[in-house]
Amino acid sequence: MSRRLSILATIILLLFVVAAAQAANIQFFRAPALDKSVLNPRVNEASTEYPRGEIVAGDGTILAQSVPTNNATYPYKRIYPLGDLTAGIIGFSSPYTQEWGLEAEYNNYLTAHAQPAESFEQLLSPTSAADTVTLTVEPALQKVAQNAMGGQDGAAVVLDPRTGAVLAMYSNPTYSPTPLTSLDPNIVAAAYKKITTPDAHGFPPLGLVATQQTFPPGSTFKVITTTAAVVGNPALLTKAYPVKAFTRLPHSNKLLFNDGGQPCGGTVAVMLPASCDPGYALLGLDLGANLMSATADSFGYDQLPPLDFPNVVPSYFPTAASFAANLPGLAYSSIGQENVRATALQQALVAAGVANGGEIMTPHFLSTITSPDGTVVKRYQNSVWLSPMNSNQAEQIVPLMENVVRYGTAAGIFPSDLDVAAKTGTAQTGNSLKNTDDWMIAFAPATDPTVAIAVVMPFQAESAFGATVAGPIVKCLVEGTLALQAGLPVSGTSTTCPSSPTAAAGSKA
Amino acid sequence: MATKSSAKGILQPTPSGNFAARMLLLVTTLLVVFGTIMVASASEGQSAANGGSSFSIILRDLVYLGFGVFTLYVMTRVKVERLIRSAPLLMLVGLAMLVAVRLVGVTTNGGKRWLNLHAILLQPSEIFKLSTVLFLAWLVQLHHDELAEWKHLLIWTSPVSIGATLILVEPDIGTTSVVVSIAFVMLAVAGLATRRLCQVALIGVSIFFIYMKMKPYSAARFFSFLHPNNDLVSSGYQLLQSKIGLGAGGLTGLGLGNSREKFGLLPNPHTDFIFSILGEELGLVGTLIAIGLFVWFLFVATRIAKQCTNDVYRVIVVGITTWIVLEAIINIASVVGGWAVTGVPLPFFSYGGTALITELAAVGLIYNIAHDGSRTRPTTASAIVPSQLRDPYDRGRDQRTRERRPSTGQRLGR
C-alpha cells in the first residue's frame, strides 16, 4: 500500500513539474511572441488607450508623438511633425492597421507597459507608461537628401562607418503619414491603398526603396572585385590587362564593351578610377567564381543586413556553382551586372567597410531608449558585423577610390578641398527604354572617414551616368554630414545643393 | 497532544498538536488566502459586467468561505467512524441530488449542473466527490474481499458509476473524470490487484472513447487544445486569450489588479481561468508559488497518509488528496494549453460556493484523521478488522463482517 502511495505521489509530483514547465514556457520563453501576436487584441487596444512613446532624432527633433483627441475610443492619436521626410523610416501607428517601420520595430517600448516599481504600492500595482526611442538619424541630412533627389525615385543611405549608425536614409517615393493616423477608418483605408499601389517604376511608397528594392550595382561592385584581388589573389593587382574597348567573353561569341566605348586597360590601380569594364571582366574571370562569390558574401551579400528595421531584403550575388557553365555570367557579375542585385543599404555598407579599415559595423537606427523618468533602458552597443578584409588591405583600396574622385569617373563632382573616396556605377537595366540605374558610393574624409554614403537613382536616361545623377546628391550629403559633424549648419557650406525638392526638380527641367 | 474521544455523540474534542496536521492547516490557509485575493481581483470585470458593485462576487465568496471554515471545523471534530458508517446514506443523498439536477436543475452555459436553493446555487457534483471518498472507504472497510471479484466489484461500486454517469450527462466530463479517478486511486491504494486495475483502466478509457464517438461536438471541444489555432472564434479562443494573458504577465506580472484579460476578453476569469489571471497579474513568480503550494499540500497530505495507523483512514486521505491535487493539475494544465478545457475548478482559488465548502470540509477530515494515531490504538493493514472498527450500536454487522475480513496482508483480487 505504501509503495503504491509513493508511486502515486511521485506521478502527481511529476505532473506538477510538467505543468510548471509549461507555465514557464508560456510566461518566459513564449511571452515576447505572444505579446506581439496579431491575434492579441490588447496590442491595438493598448496602443490607443495610453499615449505611445516619442520617437526622437539625434538632434532632439520629435519625429513621432501622441496627442490627445476628443474621441472616447481612441483618446490619443499619432502625429509625425516631419511628415513625408521621415515617413519611410519612422513608418506609422494607426488604430486600424499594423505598425510600420520603426514604429513596428520598437513597438514594445513605444506601447505603454508596466514600469519598474519605485514603491511598495507600485510593486503591487505598477504604473503603465511608454518609453522614448532616440534615433541616430539627423533630420537635416534627411532634408539634404530629399532636396538633392528632387522628387525622383531613388534612395540615399548615410552611415557613420565607425559605428554603423544610420545618419540618414531617405527614399522616393515617400508618403504623408497624416491620413494614416486618422480616426476615420475610410480615410485610413484610402491612404493605405494609395501607399501600397506601385508607382510608374513599380515602387509602392510604403516599401522603403533603400532597404527593400534591389538594383544591379554596376561599377560600384568593382570595389568588391578589387577586394577579392587584394585579399585572395594579390598577384593580379600588378597584372596589366590589355587596353581595349571590348573583350571577347569565354565559351561564347559575346563581346563586352566598355561603357562609353573608349579603350581601357592596365593594372587595377589604373582600371578602377577609369572604371574599365573589359579589364574588370577579365579580372573577375582570373579571380574565379569561388573567390568572387565568397568576397561578395563577405561584404554581406546573400544575407540579411542586421539593421533594426523591418522587412529589409538581402542583396544577391550568384552562387559559384552557377558560373560553372556560364563564364560570361561571371565576367558580367564582376562588374555588377547580369543577375547581381544590391540595395542602397548594402552598397553603403560596402563603402563603410572599406572606410572603417575593413570592418563593417552593424548598421542601426537606435541610439537609446529611455523610460519616462529619464532612465536609460537600453543603449545601443556598437558591434562589428563583418570583416571582409584587414586594415592593411583596406588601405590599398582607399587611394584607388580617391583617384576615382581626383581624375577618374567622379572627377569634378566634389570640391577640391573635400577629401573624398568614391566609386561610380552606371548599370544597364536592359529595359526597352535602355534606362540606367545610376549609383555612387563614397566616404569622407578619405584619410579618417566619418561618413559613408550610397545613392542609387534608378530608371535614369540612357545617357545618364552615376557621376552625373547620383554624384551631386552624394556631394551634398558629404558636405552636409561633415558640416554637421564639425558643428556647423548643414546648409551653410554649399551653394550648389538645392534648398528644396521643387527647386531641384525645376533646375533639372 | 493526545485527545480523548467521547463515546457518545457525533463530535469529539478538537484535535491539536500534530505537526503534519498543523502544516496541512497552514498550507490550506495560504491557498485559501491566496485564492480569495485572486477571486477579488479576477471577479472585478465580471462583477462590473453584472451591473452591480465590483465587490459583489468577492463578498459572496467571503460568505462561502465563512461557511467553509465552519464546515472544516466541524469535520475536524466529527467521529470518522460514524461518518464512514453513514457513507451509504451520504451516497444516497448525493445520488438523489444528482437526480434532482436532472429533473429541476438550473442550466447555465449549456450545462445543467446546479440546484437553485436561492441562498446558494448548489452544485451536487462537488458534494458527490466527498460522498465517493466516504463510500469507497466504507467499501474497503466492510467489503474488502468481495471487491476482488468482478461481479462484486461492479455491484459495490455501482453507486459511484451511476453518480459519474449522471454527472457526465449534465454534461460535465471534467468532474466525471475527477470522480472516476478518485475511485480508481482509492481502490489502487486499498490493494486492488494490478491486473484488475489495468482492466478497470482499460474499461474506463474505452467508455471515454465510446462517449466521444457518440458526442462528436463534445469530442471536438475536448480535443481542441491539441489544435488551439484551428478555431479561434469559439473553442480555441479561450485558450488563446489565456496564453496571451499568461504571456503578458511574463516573469513578474502586470501587478495585482492589473489584468486586462479579466475585462471581457477571457471568459470565466474568476472560475475556470483564474490561474491565467494569476499568471497575468503576478507573473511566473505567482504561478510557481501557486503550484508550489499545491506541491506542499501534496507532500503534507502524503505524509499524513503514510503516518496513518488505520488503512481505511489512509484510503480516505489518499482519496481527498487525489481530488484536490488532480483538480489543480487538470485546471493548470488546461489553462496553459496542455490538457482539455473541461471546467475543472482550481481548488481554493476558483470562485464557487459548493466547491469551496466541500474542499474545506475534506481538508478538515484529513486534519481529523491526522490525529488518529494519537486517538486510537495503532492498526495495520492486517488489522483492518471489524472488531476494531466496531461500534457499540452495530454489533450485528460487526459479527457479519468479521467472517469476511481478509487474512493478514492479503491484497484484493489475488
pLDDT tens digits, A244-296: 988 888 888 888 888 877 899 999 999 999 999 999 999 999 999 999 999 99
**Is A4 close to B188, i.e. CB distance below 8 A?**
yes
Q: What is the pTM of this model?
A: 0.59
Query: For position A497, which CATH number holds?
Result: 3.40.710.10
Specify if A322 maps to a domain. yes
pLDDT at B140: 92
Q: Which residue, among B182, B287, B303, B304, would best test binding to A if mutated, counting the most A CBs under 10 Å from its CB?
A: B287
Residues A396-436 pLDDT 10s: 999 999 999 999 999 999 998 899 999 999 988 778 778 89
Rounded Cα gap, residues A386 and A3, in angstroms: 62
- CB-based contact (8 Å) between A21 and chain B? no
Domain membership of residue A146 (yes or no) is no
User: Would the pLDDT of B394 be above 50?
Assistant: no
What torsion, rounded to 10 degrees, do the Cα atoms B368, B371, B377, B383 define? 60
Q: Which chain A residues are closer than 8 Å to B244 by Cβ?
A: 34-35, 37, 39-40, 42
- What is the rounded average pLDDT of the residues A482-508? 66
Rounded CA separation A18/B330 (Å): 12
At residue B393, the pLDDT reads 32
Count of domains for chain A:
1
State the distance between the two ends of chain A, measured CA to CA, in whole angstroms: 98
Residue A78: phi and psi, rounded to 5, are -95, 140
Total H helices, total E strands in chain A: 19, 19
What are phi and psi for residue A246, nearest 5 degrees?
A: -155, 165
DSSP sequence for A304-347 = ----SSTT----B---GGGGTT-HHHHHHHTTT-TT-BB-HHHH
Structure ipTM: 0.84
Tell me which residues of chain B, numbers 269 to 288, contact chain A at a CB-CB cutoff of 8 Å: 279, 283-284, 287-288
- Which residues of chain B neighbour A114 with C-beta distances below 8 Å? 254-255, 258
Any CB–CB contact under 8 A between A45 and chain B? Answer: yes
In A, minimum Cα distance to B309 occurs at A2
Interacting residues of A89 by C-beta distance below 8 A, sequence separation 6+: A101, A102, A137, A166, A169, A208, A309, A365
Interface touch B247/A31, C-beta < 8 Å: yes
Q: Which residues lie below 8 Å from residue B340, measured CB to CB, with a gap of 6+?
A: B221, B222, B223, B224, B225, B334
Confidence of residue A122 (pLDDT cuts 50, 70, 90): low
Is A73's pLDDT higher than 70? Answer: yes
> Which stretch of B4-18, B111-125, B190-204 has the lowest confidence by average pLDDT?
B4-18
Residue A37 banded pLDDT, cuts 50, 70, 90: low
Give the model confidence (pLDDT) of A373-402 as tens digits.
Answer: 888 989 999 999 999 999 999 999 999 999
Q: What is the pLDDT of residue B257?
A: 86
Query: With contacts defined as CB-CB under 8 Å, which chain A residues touch B336?
Result: 19, 22-23, 26
CB contact under 8 A, A35 and B247: yes
Mean pLDDT for all residues in chain B:
84
Contact across the interface for B306 and A8, Cβ inside 8 Å: no
| Mean pLDDT value across chain A | 89
Per-residue confidence band for B15, with pLDDT thresholds at 50, 70 and 90: confident
In the prediction, which pLDDT does B237 show?
78
pLDDT at B30 over 50: yes
Is residue A65 in some structural domain? no
Q: Per-residue pLDDT for B232 more than 70?
A: no
DSSP β-bridge partners for residue B8: none
Buried b (16+ CB within 10 A) or exposed e, A273-293: bbbbbbbbbbbbbbbbbebbb
- Scanning B351-410 for CB atoms below 8 A from A yields 381
B190 and A1: CB-CB below 8 Å? yes
Contact A213, A155 (CB under 8 A): yes
Amino acid type, A194: K
Nearest to B189 among A8, A28, A41 (CB): A8
Q: What is the mean pLDDT of residues A144-152?
A: 94
**Given pLDDT bands bounded at 50, 70 and 90, which one contains residue A42?**
low
A48-62, A376-390, A394-408, A488-502, range with the lowest pLDDT: A488-502
Task: Tell me A236's DSSP state.
Answer: G
Mean pLDDT of B20-29: 95
Domain coverage including residue A347: 211-364+383-508
Tell me how close the Cα of A190 comes to any Cα of chain B, in angstroms: 29
Listed range (B286-290, B367-371, B393-397) with the worst mean pLDDT = B393-397
Give per-residue pLDDT as tens, B37-83.
999 999 988 887 777 777 889 999 999 999 999 999 999 999 999 99
Let me know if residue A429 belongs to a domain.
Answer: yes
pLDDT of residue A373: 81
How long a stretch of residues is chain B?
A: 414
Q: Where residue A501 falls among pLDDT bands split at 50, 70, 90? A: low
Q: Is residue A475 part of a domain?
A: yes
Q: Using the predicted structure, report yes or no on whether residue A91 has a pLDDT greater than 80.
A: yes
In a domain, A178, yes or no: no
**Is the pLDDT reported for residue B401 higher than 50?**
no
Whether B333 sits inside 8 A of A19 (CB atoms) is yes
For residue A495, what pLDDT is reported?
57
Classify residue A54: in a domain, yes or no.
no
pLDDT for B372 = 72
- Judge whether A113 lies within some domain: no
Interface residue A34 vs chain B (CB under 8 A): yes
Q: Please answer yes or no on whether A124 and B257 come within 8 Å at the CB atom.
A: yes
